[in-house]
Amino acid sequence: IAREHGIRFFETSAKANINIEKAFLTLAEDILRKVGAHRLHSETVSQNFSFCC
């Protein structure tokens, strides 16, 4: 299912502390990358348009 949606998948276990940190850090990196790309796009769009009056 994850592959169908283009989402990374990690087998994790909080009980055994397996891949918990890796999953969290990967999620945080993906969010920052997406937010950064959105901000860059927004800045580019706002620079290309100007409004008068």
Give the angle subtended at the CA of 12 by the CAs of 9 and 15, to the nearest 5°. Answer: 165
At 4, list the tokens.
């169908």
Percent of the chain with pLDDT over 90: 32
Report the predicted TM-score, pTM, of the whole model to 2 decimal places: 0.56
For the cut 80, the answer to whether the pLDDT of residue 26 exceeds it is yes
What is the average pLDDT across 7-29?
93
Distance, CA of 5 to CA of 22 (rounded, Å): 20
Neighbours of 10 (CB within 10 A): 13
